[in-house]
Amino acid sequence: MSEEERQEKQKRIKKEYNRIKKVYKDMPPDVKTTVDSLIHRAAFMRVSLEDMEADIDERGFVEFFSQSEKTEPYERERPVARLYNTLNKNYQSIMKQLSDLVPKPKIEPPTKEDELMGFLQKPAGKVTGHG
């Protein structure tokens, strides 16, 4: 990888890091440290996965391989495809961890006024008679 490509990848990672970080801006300081580390890993993994996807799109998941010139080539999974699958699994795991840390909105219990308004707004039901 050239220096220019490396710098471009770093820019993409930083952009992804900032995108994810916005979701966690209101976290308590003690949790932010843990979250920040996970966000860095997730950003790196996402950009790396995108690069691997481009390679796989161009070259495919499999390749012909031969141990030597004397043996017949056979089709095998490309190493980048195996790495992609492993990295994708780990990325999904980190994103799940991050998702679990998103603060849940506090739901206030309904007040008596809310219950009354809910009752009054219900459509009138049919009255069934006997007979």
Give the tens place of pLDDT for each residue, 85-124.
999 999 999 999 998 887 676 777 767 676 666 767 777 6
Q: With contact defined as beta carbons under 8 Å apart, do 66 and 55 qualify?
A: no
Residue 70 belongs to some domain of the structure: yes
* Distance (Å, whole) CA 26 – CA 22: 9
What are the CA-CA distances from residue 122 to residues 24, 98, 108, 110, 127 (Å)? 39, 40, 21, 16, 15
Residue 108 belongs to some domain of the structure: no
pLDDT-derived band at 34 (thresholds 50, 70, 90) equals confident
Residue 125 belongs to some domain of the structure: no
26: left (phi over 0), alpha (psi -120 to 50) or beta: alpha
Q: What is the number of structural domains in the chain?
A: 1
* Structural domain for 59, as ranges: 13-101
Residue 122 belongs to some domain of the structure: no
Please tell me the predicted confidence (pLDDT) of residue 27: 82
Question: How many alpha carbons fall within 13 Å on the CB side of residue 81?
Answer: 11
